[in-house]
Chain A
Amino acid sequence: MRTEILDILFTYLKAFAVGGGICLIAQIIINFTDLTAGKILVYFMLAGVVLTALGLYQPLVEFAGAGATVPISGFGYLLANGAMKGAEKGLFYAVTGSLTAASAGVTAAVVFAFIMALIFKSRTKRN
């Protein structure tokens, strides 16, 4: 029982450290360049794709769990992983595999954004 709790705590710690670490790298890049949010998101997603294709991101996901999948690089991992799995089945699946894997995220974003746009109004802010 004791070790189980420690195990869970350790998993959270790993998720925190790796996830925070990825954000930290992004923040350092923002601090030293003038990259905007949109560019950072694209670069980190591409980095996720490349690292996955090179086989470097999978170990990180196994190690850190949500710490590696929650950052946008995890979205890249999802895309690349889907494509790699699809490639085993043939050309059609190699091409469609990436978006199939990412479909949940994209669908959720579109649907929820739509609902929020129905409910909420844009508000001005003061600080």
Chain B
Amino acid sequence: MSKKGNTIFFKRPPRILSYAAVCGSKEKEGIIGSYADITLDDDMYGEDTYEKAECKMLSAAISLAVKKSGKREQDIDVLLSGDLLNQIISASFAARDYDFPFLGVYSACSTMSESILLGSALIGGGFADTAVCATGSHFASAERQYRYPLELGCTRPPQSQWTVTGAGGLVLGRADRGIKVVCATMGRVCDYGVTDVNNMGAAMAPAAADTIMRHFKDTDTEPADYDLILTGDLGALGSRIVKDLTWEKGYDISSNHVDCGEIIYKVIESEFQGGSGAGCSATVLNSYILTRMEAGLYKRVLFAATGALLSTVSSGQGESIPCISHAVRLEI
């Protein structure tokens, strides 16, 4: 392992052994519907509360990823997981089902890239051989925690996003072939002062732009070196902003930038900007993107999920929204 700037390089890159995604009924109709392993017709997943449903989805994604990797439970060294709920209950409760150690991570919607970064660092440093990285979110539980009761008849501003119901997980380990995690850039917390909790795209775009540009600088690459620059859940509005912000600094990512939140649903920009939530990047990456990478359609992908590190308390006190983005470079 070596380090330059905020980017860590793995000498023997860990590989993605397997991946799995679970998605809800609304997501099923979109682009990931035919790629996800489990698609739910009932977003409750047979449970009686939203939180339990979210936990079950996450657990299903983890189990399936482990099963597909061919590893036994005792071969797994660590589970790195987190979610959006207070005290990351979905992840911790899902971890009850397993015999392997669990490290809870939280960086809101960028939990997927943070857990891949940490998992790769553990494997690259020789502290673990196999790590599971997973996260998920549920529309109803997020809505309940961050906004209003579902039945409250309030309007949705057009800049708002829709929390994805879904979970995704992948297993990192040592293998001879497969998708490599080559290097990863740790994010810095960026806060440009956006206070509108409905406008997450605008709040998170500076963090994404900052991390992506530092990654370019640290690795001496430029946007054209990547087949895909994948951000997490900026939405249509945030994607426009991140393109503007990077273009301003001399990096033109407009041709290969794709946002998970923008592609997961059919976006009608005058009504909503796309998907959000930890499950957004987790489901899109662990179904659509990785499948296409394995098929050789993308050779080199920069995955930079973004997260808004706010809580209802901080926004109630009028604080602005600090955001973060971690980037990992995946290569086939």
**Min distance, Cβ B267 to any Cβ of chain A, angstroms:** 13
Interface of B is mostly: loop
A125 CB-CB contact with B under 8 Å: yes
B150 close to A123 (CB less than 8 A): yes
Which residues of chain A from 112 to 127 have any CB-CB distance to chain B below 8 Å in the complex?
122-127
A126 close to B26 (CB less than 8 A): yes
Chain B, Cβ-Cβ closest to A123: B150
**Min distance, Cβ A34 to any Cβ of chain B, angstroms:** 7
A124 close to B196 (CB less than 8 A): no
Q: Which of A37, A122, A123, A126 contacts B25 (CB 8 A)?
A: A126
- CA A126 to CA B139, docked complex, whole Å: 9
Interface size class of B (residues with CB under 8 A): 20 to 34
Chain A, Cβ-Cβ closest to B26: A126
A36 CB-CB contact with B under 8 Å: yes
Please give the number of chain A residues whose Cβ is less than 8 angstroms from any Cβ of chain B in the complex.
10
B43 CB-CB contact with A under 8 Å: yes
A13 CB-CB contact with B under 8 Å: no
B154 close to A37 (CB less than 8 A): yes
**Min distance, Cβ B203 to any Cβ of chain A, angstroms:** 14
A29 CB-CB contact with B under 8 Å: no
Q: A30-B155, A34-B196 are in contact. Are A125 and B25 (CB under 8 A)?
A: no
Which residues of chain A from 9 to 50 have any CB-CB distance to chain B below 8 Å in the complex?
30, 34, 36-37
Which residues of chain B from 146 to 177 have any CB-CB distance to chain A below 8 Å in the complex?
148-155, 157, 165
B44 CB-CB contact with A under 8 Å: yes
> Shortest 3 CB-CB distances between A and B: which pairs?
A124-B140, A37-B154, A126-B26
17 further A-B contacts with Cβ under 8 Å, apart from A124-B139, A124-B150, A126-B25, are A34-B157, A34-B196, A34-B198, A37-B148, A37-B153, A122-B50, A122-B140, A123-B150, A124-B43, A124-B44, A124-B50, A124-B165, A125-B139, A125-B140, A125-B150, A126-B43, A127-B26
Residues of B within 8 A of A (CB): 25-26, 43-44, 50, 138-140, 148-155, 157, 165, 196, 198
